[in-house]
Amino acid sequence: MKSILVTGSAGFIGSALTLKLLENGHKVVGIDNLNNYYDISLKEARLDRFYNHINYKNHITDIEDQESIKKIFDNNEIDIVINLAAQAGVRYSLINPQKYICTNILGFTNILEACKRHKINHLIYASSSSVYGLNKNIPFSTSNMTNHPVSVYAASKKSNELLAHTYSYLFNIPTTGLRFFTVYGPWDRPDMALQQFANSIMKDKPIQLFNYGKHKRDFTYIDDIVDGIIKVISRPAIPDPDWDPVDPNASSSSCPYRIYNIGNNSMIELERYVNLLEKELGRKAKKELLPMQPGDVEDTYANVDDLVVDFDYQPNTPVEVGVKNFAKWFKIYYQV
């Protein structure tokens, strides 16, 4: 049994991970600010699945609140930290960039400082496929450059990776960054594509398909993401003995620092994704085909070879099954 702190425990990924950790016998300290970026009742419903579990402790606070984070670390025996709290959404970062700087950078720094003071055994944190930005070297590999982000959200996640390396180097904190690729499934966010599409289809409203529906995404089912995170918990990052400062590997270092892609390792065109959803909902979508939006990456496709080699990661949920599971949950939760 480990004591694991999960930030963003009421979020889509955080709640699914917390539920699985508790099922596996771990103690979980959860942090979430329950903000109103989207429907709070959905966050509360996620929490209800484990809120009263004997091994769960809930804290409603913001990772931006340095003093509150300090008290939580001081008052709990914590072995491992998994930072999933973030201001999400690429397009919202065009409207409110300050929120991304405050939560994703200042908040993450507060977590790093707490990990430093308490000599945490392993910090795992959420990065994003968005960091690949203008890079079109498909499939995306962690050896690729990520210096050309195209949204403030992506820049904030790249900043997390840089800060994590700095703290790993200066204070010997083992840090592992996971670049998530288009996570989907039951209990997802209302602002994510699948739930937006489902809502519009059931209300007979048009869905907006940017890049004329030709986007390709490495859609990754929530259970496969959770499985990957849990595998990574067991092995904190260590210094790479083969790391060469003259020809540096971008995903490792001479300090205990690692970066991995975590995705389904396949690409699916957005239009096919919609077709599968239409089939499961039993309705046809009205489609509004639009050009590329600022901040969007045209295609995403994860090379997960490192995660497979190091942790035997095997994403095994076909998109047909994942969309079916989502649609079943959606119809029950929203009573449609």
CB 170: neighbour CB atoms within 10 A? 10
β-pair type (216-217, 268-269): antiparallel
The answer to whether residues 309 and 170 touch, using CB atoms and an 8 Å cutoff, is no
Tell me the angle at which helices 12-23 and 40-48 cross, rounded to the nearest 10 degrees. Answer: 10
Residue 105 CA: distances (Å) to CA of 83, 102, 121, 273: 12, 6, 22, 33
Helix, strand, coil shares, percent, the chain, to 5: 40, 15, 40
Quote the tokens at residue 8. Answer: 């963003």
The label of the residue with tokens 């889509």 reads 12
Catalytic residue flag (residue 37): no
Pairwise CA distance, residues 190 & 171, whole Å: 39
3-state secondary structure 51-98: CCCCCEEEEECCCCCHHHHHHHHHCCCCCEEEECCCCCCCCHHHHCHH
The catalytic residue among 56, 125, 153, 301 is 153
Spatial contact of 39 and 5, defined as CB atoms under 8 Å apart: no
CA gap 327, 282 in Å, rounded = 10
Please give the positions annotated as active site: 153
